[in-house]
Structures are given as C-alpha cells and as structure tokens.
C-alpha cells in the first residue's frame, strides 16, 4: 500500500485554507434567479454582438492554434489612453506602467509572490474589505496585519493606526486598500492614501484596488499617481463597469520597475486571444460609449434604490457610500435594531422563496445586520424591492422575537455554528 498521507504531504497552510466563497456556492443560478450578489453589470457587456461580429471572426478562430501575444502592448495602450486624464499628474502612463492578468486576482497574487517571503513577511489589510487579499496571503504562507477601517458610514482609513502598524510591525511588505471599498462602497480619501505613501520608514508597496472606480465621480482614479510614487500599484478590472466578468481580465498600473517584475513573473501567455480581442473592443470608442450608457442606467437605478429603501419598513441605515454598483444596508429586527439573524433570514428567504440572490455581509467588521445588494436592471430592482418588503414583514414578525425556524440562523450568524 502506498505510504502517501495527504495530511503530512501537503503544505500545512493549504490544509487549513478557507477558500473564497460567494453566494452562488449556496444558490446556483437556474436561469430564473435575479443575481444581485456579485456586483456584476446587469446591463451586459460593453461589447455588442454586432461589434464582435465585425472583427472577422473566421480569421480569428483560425488563429487559435497560435499562442497569444505575451506583451499585449496594444491593449495596454488603450488602458493608458483611458486613464491619462492629467488630473493627478502631468506625466503620461505608457504600456511600461502596466501588467494585465486573469482578473485582478492574478495581480493580487503576483504582488504577494513578488514582495513577500513565505513564512516571514506579512500584508496589511483594512476590514471590511475584499476577501481575496487574505485568501491569497494564506495560500502563499504570508501573514496578515489587520487595521480596521474607521466606523461607518464613512469607512475611512485609520491612517494613524496604519502608520503605527507600519512602524511597529515587522516585515509588512504590502498594504491593500480597496477604493471604492467592497463591501462598503466608500471612496478612500486621496489625502489619506498620500499619508501612507509618505510614511518615513516603511519599505513597502501600497496597493489600491479600484475595481469599482468607474461608478465613482469622474477623475478620482489614482492610476496616474504611479508615475509620482514608485511604491504605488493601482489595480482595475473589466468585470464591473465594463460588464466583462466572463473574460477575466484585470490590469495593474505601477512604476515601470515594478511593472517589469510582475510581467517577468507571469505565465508567458496568460491572456488568451479571445479575451484580448474582446477587451480591446470594450476599451475602444464604441465599447466605451456603450459602457458609459449602461453605467448611467445603473446609477439611475442606484439612486432609485437609495430613495425607496429609505422608505422600506425593516431596512436600516445605508452603511458606507454610493460610489459603486452596490449598496450596503442594515436589516432591522422587530425592535428596530440591526441584527444578523434577521439579515441572514432575509438573505435565505429572498433566494429560496423569491429567486433573488443578494449577499449576507453581517460577519464583516462594522457590518452588523448588513446585506450587500448589487444594483440590477430596472425590472430586477422592481422585483427585488417588492420581494424585500414581503420577506422583511414575514421575518420580523410583530412581537420582537426571532421566529422559531430562525434559531439556527441566529447561531450561524453569531458564529456559534459554522
């Protein structure tokens, strides 16, 4: 019999890994659900079918037997053209400032592998924040230093706490900041990020994740700043405003020496030809016009949700901001208090009984009783609002108590049951 023992053969940090989970691990899409859980663009991709058809698909398909361009210079130049606004500096971004990868997740992982020694170095994160920073750190056997964001509704950086951590904690090489935040939807102040970059003793890299930046006010992206700060990386993605989550393409802007390291580390042909061609269409003139039109419709529905949720019994405060394509709201129990058991029950009943999938975020720091709700189409928002009113009335009851069938949900929400 083979002496193989998985428990002693695999790396210990992988054996204890808790993988990234999403609501669709619990609720699969059967084609009838409204998916308001993953912050996708409900109005679809920036590339119209007729635009893709004009690209001589027959020739492109015949070229699939060739490896893709390892450098993606043309695509990178289009990204640079998009972000060269001259708002934050007069220095122009060029393809030498860029890394493109398989979603932002490849950049998150590549940065950790580039700068952190396994078993020794650590990264700094500011909860509540995107979960893949911690997952990638765990996979790479890299530790975490957590400095929570300041309390809602602002969810601003605790600059003093971050500065103290960077001064006092050993071997912190990367600080990951999400702006607009996920799940908060709040923009981080440019002045606060500058103060971290100006830390007098820390030898590390600030990473600003701008996955949702196109939903924020125009001109707030700090991508141009990488020409001013050698220790800044700004990540972006085509999954959100561009509606291209299915092609899995992310970008990172950095000073040329840092970008060169990331490009040297990547797999030789990490961006497939179809992905590259669709991305170029999306970041070109017609694609940008389509993206901005869809984005305007999302903003209209976002404003509608803010107005109507404020009048919905059982919905509490908006926690965080409106600089993204999702909103973070408290769910209130019968006593009018934000409550995880109530929020979890609403989350489950929306999905199971109404076919509306949102995201329970009540276990995140500072998000007690919160659901994160992606802004959908006008029809989807109408269905969500009606379903939420019905479910909240049912879950909350009238006597201030948690219904009997919510007992286990309360234990789960409070961490008593995993």
pLDDT tens for residues 82-137?
999 887 778 899 999 999 999 999 999 999 999 999 999 999 999 999 999 999 99
User: How far is CA 92 from its chain centroid?
Assistant: 27
Question: What pTM, to 2 d.p., does this model score?
Answer: 0.88
Q: How far is CA 310 from CA 137, 230, 313, 317, 329, in A?
A: 38, 44, 8, 8, 10
Q: What is the pLDDT of residue 416?
A: 37
The 3-state DSSP class for residue 98 equals strand
What is the rounded radius of gyration, in angstroms, for the C-alpha atoms of the chain?
A: 22
Q: Could you tell me if 237 and 250 are in contact, meaning their C-beta atoms sit under 8 angstroms apart?
A: yes
Q: Which tokens is 195 given?
A: 């103060």
- Kindly state the helix (H) or strand (E) to which residue 262 belongs, with its residue range: helix 256-265
- Residue stretches of the chain with pLDDT short of 70: 3-4, 6, 19-31, 49-63, 398-418
Tokens of 407: 């007992």
Structure tokens of 396?
């909350």
3-state percent breakdown (helix, strand, coil) of the chain, nearest 5: 45, 15, 45
For 133-168, how does the pLDDT look when each residue is reduced to its tens digit (9 = 90+)?
999 999 999 999 999 999 988 999 999 999 999 999
- Domains annotated on the chain, with CATH: 12-41+289-413 (3.90.1150.10), 50-283 (3.40.640.10)
Other beta carbons within 10 Å of 175: 27
């Amino acid at each position: 019999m083979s002496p193989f023992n998985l428990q002693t053969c695999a790396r210990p940090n992988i054996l204890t890994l808790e993988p990234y989970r999403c609501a669709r691990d619990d609720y699969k899409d059967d084609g009838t659900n409204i998916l308001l859980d993953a912050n996708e663009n409900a109005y679809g991709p920036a590339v119209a079918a007729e635009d893709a058809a004009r690209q001589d698909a027959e020739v492109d398909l015949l070229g699939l037997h060739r490896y893709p361009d390892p450098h993606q210079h043309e695509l990178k130049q289009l990204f640079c053209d998009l972000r060269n606004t001259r708002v934050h500096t007069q220095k122009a971004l060029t393809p030498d400032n860029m890394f493109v990868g398989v979603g932002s997740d490849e950049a998150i992982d590549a940065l950790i592998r580039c700068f952190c020694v396994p078993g020794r170095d650590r990264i700094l994160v500011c909860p509540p924040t995107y979960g893949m920073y911690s997952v990638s750190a765990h996979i790479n056997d890299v530790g975490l230093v957590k400095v929570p964001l300041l309390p809602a509704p602002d969810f601003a950086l605790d600059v003093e706490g971050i500065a103290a951590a960077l001064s006092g904690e050993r071997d912190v090489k990367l600080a990951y900041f999400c702006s607009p935040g996920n799940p908060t939807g709040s923009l981080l102040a440019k002045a606060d990020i500058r103060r971290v970059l100006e830390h007098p003793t820390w030898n590390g890299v600030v990473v600003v994740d701008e996955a949702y930046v196109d939903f924020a006010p125009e001109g707030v992206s700090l991508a141009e700043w990488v020409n001013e700060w050698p220790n800044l990386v700004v990540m972006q993605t085509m999954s959100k405003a561009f509606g291209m989550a299915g092609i899995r393409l992310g970008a990172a802007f950095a000073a040329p020496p840092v970008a060169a390291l990331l490009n040297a580390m990547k797999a030789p042909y990490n961006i497939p030809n179809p992905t590259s061609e669709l991305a170029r269409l999306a970041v070109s003139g017609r694609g940008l016009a389509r993206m901005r039109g869809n984005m305007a419709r999302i903003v209209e529905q976002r404003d509608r949700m803010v107005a109507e949720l404020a009048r919905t019994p059982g919905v509490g405060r908006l926690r965080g901001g409106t600089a993204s394509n999702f909103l973070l709201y408290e769910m209130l129990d019968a006593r009018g208090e934000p409550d995880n058991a109530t929020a979890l029950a609403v989350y489950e009943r929306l999905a199971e009984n109404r076919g509306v999938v949102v995201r329970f975020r009540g276990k995140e720091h500072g998000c007690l009783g919160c659901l994160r709700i992606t802004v959908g189409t006008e029809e989807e928002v109408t269905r969500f609002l009606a379903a939420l009113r019905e479910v909240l009335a049912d879950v909350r009851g009238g006597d201030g108590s948690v219904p009997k069938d919510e007992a286990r949900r309360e234990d789960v929400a409070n961490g008593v049951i995993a």
